[in-house]
Structure 1
Amino acid sequence: MRRTARDTEESARRISRRGLLMGGAMAAMFAVLGARMRFLSVEQADEFRLLAEENRINMRLIPPERGLILDRNGKLIAGNEQNYRVTITREDAGDVDSVLARLTRIIPITAEEMDRVTRDIGRNSPFVPIIVADRLPWEDFSKVAVNAPTLPGVTPEVGLSRHYPLIEDFSHVVGYVGPVSEKDLEERPNPDPVLRIPEFQIGKIGVERWMEETLRGAAGNKRIEVNHVGRVMRELERTDGTPGQDIQLTLDADIQNFVQARLGEESAACVVMDVNTGELIACASAPGFDPNLFVRGITQRDYSALMEDDHRPLANKTVQGAYPPGSTFKMVTALAALEAGVITPETTHSCPGYIEFGDRRFHCWKRGGHGRVDLARSLAESCDVYYYEIAQKVGIDKIAEMGRRLGLGMRHDLPMSAITEGIMPDKAWKLERWGQEWRVGDTINASIGQGYVLASPLQLTVMTARLATGRAIVPRLVRAIGGKPVDMPEAPSLDLDPAGLRSIREGMFEVMNTQRGTAFSSRIADETMVLAGKTGTSQVRNISAAERARGVVSNDQLPWNRRDHALYVGYAPFDNPRYAVTVVVEHGGGGSAVAAPIARDAILRALHGDIPPLTAYPASQRGRIETDLDALRERLRNTGPSGSSRA
């Protein structure tokens, strides 16, 4: 059938429209392709040229900057310093052994370090940078940087490393950081990826450990471009991490340094606490150690020396040491008896020098006895027999209950390592621990802080602060986190009889300020800063009946580790308490002769805010004290200015 002219014309129009549509679509497609080709060939020509040379894009974590640790006045305790180091990435290095061999010709690397590098390379991902050399001097670091083109996969880096400028002063409280171990990773269910960076350091003990999450911060990351020989060409993108938060402690660096120096070469501990807030002002354990040694990688020789020292420099004696409190415990026994109503402050007992119970004789420290004594005199002269008598009336359970109310036999929650609970024994404790019934002889021993009773210097300081205030003071070590003060709720009342507390305080006053008091020679002459306290001497060996008959061997005639511990607790000023102090000197001998003078100096330093003036001491002692303080000044460290900033 022949098509009409009209059909032909209509068909031509349809073909023209389709052709125009197809042509327009093709033109648009070519325009897009042309624009894309121009973008790739012109605007991104450099990037594709580098990629054509076998460049790669790598992602790497950026370790966060660790938060600072400051004292109560803003002085730097733990900070960060620049650290020049060299890393190697297996994926980029190719022949690792060859590259390391070339690197050893540029900087010195020991065989031990090389073994460590080889070990780290083998157990980490090929893309993870491994630290080859750390804490390099600038000369060696610059040599590596100059030779970088011939060292594929090797990168010179400037990082941060932990530094403790005050060395041993805060070694036990703050602790130190060290490389992440397999044990550290196992302790964390989902470890932060940054912990898998070789040689990344985290807190190992002390505040550094227990506030690790706060101090660490969050890692950042960067995209870098490396060429076919592993050389970094450029950084494409960087996302900075979040620095760790700064932590401000309650401790005063100047007072801490004074106390540490005052303890000298003794194996000892001293705690100074604000009795109104519970803030620890000083918390010193002697001898100390240099935490920087652990950050840098302590040698076996140095570590062995610390471990073999009989004065145990690695132990934090302030919270870890558990000692028989000796006569410093007598306030607990007396207060338990007062609260139970079995004695009054006027109750007296006769002390002939001992009591007999069953077939055993329990001795007073004074062989001839004290005669008839009341509560105040029993504390002032530290009569043991008085406490033997009243303890039998009140019983161990009430004594233990009072001890716990005063802060003994419990673990105080502070960010420090190995905090002991001590032991505040009672009948149930002995039955559970030893499967034995409690005996009256156990009560007699416990009444003077011997037998099973154990307490740390921190616990004894809490006890003293609670006696001074009548409130349930709780120790505090952290003052602010990230610049924000930590909440400090007011301590509740202990609900103790005010008259009983007053009689205990008066007895502690007489210890220091009457001629018959055991610590009269360590009194404070300044009437605005009168010190009240209690001395203690705890035995670490048994004295046989034969030795007593021929005369007890004096401490200075015994080997050091068989001598008695010297203890002292106290607070000042007596009328308006501000600070409590505890001193324990291991194997120091008598508390009155050894521990009390240290405590007096420590609390005077806190009260005065500087080296104590001679007028604070009795006139007869000032010549000797002046010589001692001059010698002490030479041992003090300049703790530096406040407001230290990040590295």
Structure 2
Amino acid sequence: MRRNASDTEGSARTITRRGLFVGGLQVSFAALLLGRMRFMQVDQGEEYRLLAEENRINLRLIPPSRGLIHDRNGVLIAGNEQNYRIVIVREDADDPEAVLRRLGKIIWLSEEDIQDALKEMKRRSAFVPVTVADRVSWEEVSEVAVNTPALPGITPEVGLSRIYPQVGDFAHVIGYVGPVSDYDLSKLEDPDPLLQIPRFQIGKSGVEVKMEYALRGSAGSREIEVNALGREMRELSRQEGQSGDDVQLTIDAKLQSYVQARMAGESAAAVVLDTKTGDILALGSAPTFDANKFVHGISSSDYKALLEDPYRPLAAKTAQGTYPPGSTFKMVTALAALEEGVIDLNETVSCWGKIKVYNRNFHCWKRGGHGKVALGKSLEQSCDVYYYEVAQRVGIDKIAEMARRLGLGIRHDLPLSAVAQGLIPNKAWKREHRSAEWVVGDSLNAGIGQGFVLTSPLQLAVMTARIATGRTVEPRLVRSINGVEQPIAEQEPLGISSSSLAAVRKGMYDVVNARRGTAGRSKITGDEFRMAGKTGTSQVRNITKAERARGVTRNEDLPWDRRDHALFVGYAPAEAPRYAVSVVVEHGGGGSKAAAPIARDIMLQTLYGGRPPLEAYPSSQRGTIRSRQEEIEDMMTLPPEEGLGGSGRA
């Protein structure tokens, strides 16, 4: 059928319109593409170039070298050692688990190691390296480096790890470091980016944690070029960080080693102070532990053994532990009474073994009593009845005031994990904390350092130094930071009369040097280095009437944990005090038997700057002392010095 001219013309017009419409769409689409390309290449070109550069260049933090810690003579007590490790970056590994299993065929990895690494990667950002193996050998590092083409995301690294050369001697002072934990991060409002570095070590206890920011330093950085697989090709730039501050402590490492060895086999604490500066020369707590085991994570069996040890090796007994001071507190009671004028030096109190107050008997340690006792004899022979009488006269508030003046009941400012405040009670304290009124019996117990009274070995050393000098000796643990000497606290007069101090010092001298002194067997012979001191025994159990009637059970016949604590405090030389010492032996029995001999040996080691001559000991003890010296020196971490023949430190 032939189409007429009008139909043909209409059809042509329709095709032309469709063609124009389609052509318009194509032109519009092309224009849109060109506009988008211009926008991406011109307007956003800089941003995309930056993204491409970031894919090519990675920024890595460089951990700083942790500051070193030395003793007062420059002996290294906390240092750093090279440590090789293998890390993985999740975003650079195609299949992290497959990569780890290939790695496990090159170096030994347990299934637990692999699963731990996978868990850690899920918790961290994809670009954060995660440590797979730590403390690997150089041979293992070399094998991994050779096989890196088959191990995307795996990188061998070399870093620094903390090491404690003196092992346990400073464990309770320096503390230890360990890998950053989630708990550590949760305590920080603005965590340092350094803490994201795999297994980055921070202080966990002791000086390490208290001086963390000074010891840590600041991070450096490096830019590295990587290929399409994320493998490092070359280092483009490096900016070194700032090493942590070096810290010098006041402690003498050789004396510290001696103190730890001398207390071996005991659950004990000892403190040595320089009375002129307040420098802490030794701060020993026994038993101790190997701090190096905590640096990379202690095993559960080792940690369980430390926790279950009844001697509590993890406890820093010197500053953290608190104990009833027993008779070492009697100087406080005596000074309070003398300053208040409620007793004089020649007044006597009759001691027949006990005193009765409100139908209750308060007993003296000596069952038959001491007879007529004045102040000097009360200290020399440690008469309890004398101090029962004195405590009633002076009252607890004055005793507490004197105790604080002498440094008890005060949390001394030291960079240690836990510095105990102790407890010096008074009437207001009992009302607030026990909801009860103070009674006379409380004063009697406090007057002999029992009842509510609690002190630390550190506080007892401070108390002794203040009595010896009559000045406000403040303990100091940090001697210098980066070579800059730290200030020594100015020592002000205590405000105690010289006559009162002289009377108490004379009594302390007789404790050690008089024929009937309680520490007579621990005297130092020769006039140059005579020691003054005070023994103490603090009860940890109640003695019943029935037990007293049949005779108090000897400490040796009791289970270890029910025996009395043994204490001794002292200073020397008596005529020109230079050093103060305190010793507490947990459940050691009597202070004269357990604590005083240890304190005497430590004091002599301090005075002579090494092994003292046998002539410094009573002649009857020299054979035993010689054997003991050899045993102790075999246990010491640092080699001991021979005696200085009397030149001494003082």
1:441-486 deviation digits (Å, cap 9, x = unpaired): 0000000000000000000000000000011111000000011100
d(CA) in 1 for partners of 2:111, 2:413: 45
Matched, 1:274 2:274: yes
d(CA) in 2 for partners of 1:330, 1:137: 60
**8 A Cα contact 1:70 1:77, kept in partner:** yes
For the residue of structure 2 that corresponds to 1:132, the secondary structure is strand
Tell me whether 614-623 or 567-576 shows the greater mean CA deviation.
614-623
Which residue type is aligned with residue 259 of structure 1? Answer: V
Q: Note the C-alpha offset of 1:640.
A: 11
**8 A Cα contact 1:75 1:640, kept in partner:** no
d(CA) in 1 for partners of 2:327, 2:607: 26
Alignment correspondent of 2:614 = 614
Tell me whether 102-111 or 389-398 shows the greater mean CA deviation.
102-111
Alignment correspondent of 2:156 = 156
d(CA) in 2 for partners of 1:631, 1:621: 16
**8 A Cα contact 1:566 1:588, kept in partner:** yes
Which residue type is aligned with residue 628 of structure 1? Answer: R
d(CA) in 2 for partners of 1:198, 1:118: 13
d(CA) in 1 for partners of 2:580, 2:487: 22
Alignment correspondent of 1:389 = 389
1:326-348 deviation digits (Å, cap 9, x = unpaired): 00000000000001010112121
For the residue of structure 2 that corresponds to 1:293, the secondary structure is helix
d(CA) in 1 for partners of 2:147, 2:381: 77
Which residue type is aligned with residue 224 of structure 2? Answer: I
Alignment correspondent of 1:189 = 189
Which residue type is aligned with residue 594 of structure 2? Answer: V
Pairing of 1:57-72 with structure 2 (within 5 A) = 57-72=57-72
Alignment correspondent of 2:44 = none
**8 A Cα contact 2:474 2:489, kept in partner:** no
**8 A Cα contact 1:120 1:198, kept in partner:** no
d(CA) in 2 for partners of 1:145, 1:168: 37
Q: Note the C-alpha offset of 1:611.
A: 1.0
**8 A Cα contact 2:611 2:640, kept in partner:** no
Which residue type is aligned with residue 221 of structure 2? Answer: N
For the residue of structure 1 that corresponds to 2:213, the secondary structure is helix
d(CA) in 2 for partners of 1:459, 1:504: 18
Alignment correspondent of 2:526 = 526
Alignment correspondent of 1:109 = 109
**8 A Cα contact 2:96 2:118, kept in partner:** no
The TM-score with structure 2 as length reference comes to: 0.90
d(CA) in 2 for partners of 1:489, 1:262: 31
Which residue type is aligned with residue 179 of structure 1? Answer: P
d(CA) in 2 for partners of 1:299, 1:572: 44
Q: Note the C-alpha offset of 1:190.
A: 1.2
For the residue of structure 2 that corresponds to 1:168, the secondary structure is coil
d(CA) in 1 for partners of 2:599, 2:110: 49
Alignment correspondent of 1:258 = 258
The TM-score with structure 1 as length reference comes to: 0.90
Which residue type is aligned with residue 637 of structure 1? Answer: T
Which residue type is aligned with residue 245 of structure 2? Answer: Q
1:338-362 deviation digits (Å, cap 9, x = unpaired): 0101011212101000000112100
Alignment correspondent of 2:423 = 423
For the residue of structure 1 that corresponds to 2:161, the secondary structure is strand
Q: Note the C-alpha offset of 1:384.
A: 0.2
Q: Note the C-alpha offset of 1:247.
A: 0.3
**8 A Cα contact 2:225 2:232, kept in partner:** yes
**8 A Cα contact 2:276 2:578, kept in partner:** yes
Pairing of 1:289-308 with structure 2 (within 5 A) = 289-308=289-308
Alignment correspondent of 2:497 = 497
Q: Note the C-alpha offset of 1:229.
A: 2.1
**8 A Cα contact 1:176 1:204, kept in partner:** yes
Which residue type is aligned with residue 76 of structure 2? Answer: L
1:245-287 deviation digits (Å, cap 9, x = unpaired): 0000000000000000000110000000001111000000000
Alignment correspondent of 1:535 = 535
Pairing of 1:39-188 with structure 2 (within 5 A) = 56-188=56-188
Matched, 1:444 2:431: no
Alignment correspondent of 2:380 = 380
**8 A Cα contact 2:633 2:639, kept in partner:** no
Alignment correspondent of 2:4 = none
Which residue type is aligned with residue 422 of structure 2? Answer: G
Which residue type is aligned with residue 433 of structure 2? Answer: R
Which residue type is aligned with residue 134 of structure 1? Answer: D
For the residue of structure 2 that corresponds to 1:64, the secondary structure is coil
Pairing of 1:302-381 with structure 2 (within 5 A) = 302-381=302-381
Greater relative CO (CA pairs within 8 A, separation 6+): 1
**8 A Cα contact 1:340 1:394, kept in partner:** yes
1:48-91 deviation digits (Å, cap 9, x = unpaired): 9xx89x97210011111100010000000000000010111111
Cα RMSD, aligned residues only: 1.4
Alignment correspondent of 1:462 = 462
Q: Note the C-alpha offset of 1:147.
A: 1.2
Give the number of equivalent residue pairs.
591
Give structure 1 regions of 4+ aligned residues with deviation exceeding 4 angstroms: none
Percent of residue pairs identical? 61
Q: Note the C-alpha offset of 1:526.
A: 2.4
d(CA) in 2 for partners of 1:400, 1:299: 46
**8 A Cα contact 2:425 2:453, kept in partner:** yes
Q: Note the C-alpha offset of 1:182.
A: 2.0
For the residue of structure 2 that corresponds to 1:535, the secondary structure is strand
**8 A Cα contact 1:166 1:639, kept in partner:** no
For the residue of structure 2 that corresponds to 1:403, the secondary structure is helix
Matched, 1:627 2:619: no
Alignment correspondent of 1:405 = 405
d(CA) in 1 for partners of 2:413, 2:531: 28
1:543-589 deviation digits (Å, cap 9, x = unpaired): 00100000010011100000000000000000111100000000000
Alignment correspondent of 1:433 = 433
d(CA) in 2 for partners of 1:335, 1:391: 11
Pairing of 1:501-512 with structure 2 (within 5 A) = 501-512=501-512
Q: Note the C-alpha offset of 1:638.
A: 2.6
d(CA) in 2 for partners of 1:631, 1:62: 46
For the residue of structure 2 that corresponds to 1:568, the secondary structure is strand
d(CA) in 1 for partners of 2:233, 2:445: 76
Q: Note the C-alpha offset of 1:183.
A: 2.1
d(CA) in 2 for partners of 1:151, 1:133: 14
**8 A Cα contact 2:468 2:577, kept in partner:** yes
**8 A Cα contact 1:223 1:236, kept in partner:** yes
Q: Compared with structure 1, are the counterparts of its residues 249 and 597 closer, same or farther at alpha carbon in structure 2 (3 Å cutoff)?
A: same
**8 A Cα contact 1:277 1:473, kept in partner:** yes
Unaligned runs of 5+ in 2: 1-48, 642-650
Q: Note the C-alpha offset of 1:639.
A: 6.0
Alignment correspondent of 2:20 = none
Matched, 1:553 2:553: yes
Q: Note the C-alpha offset of 1:221.
A: 0.6
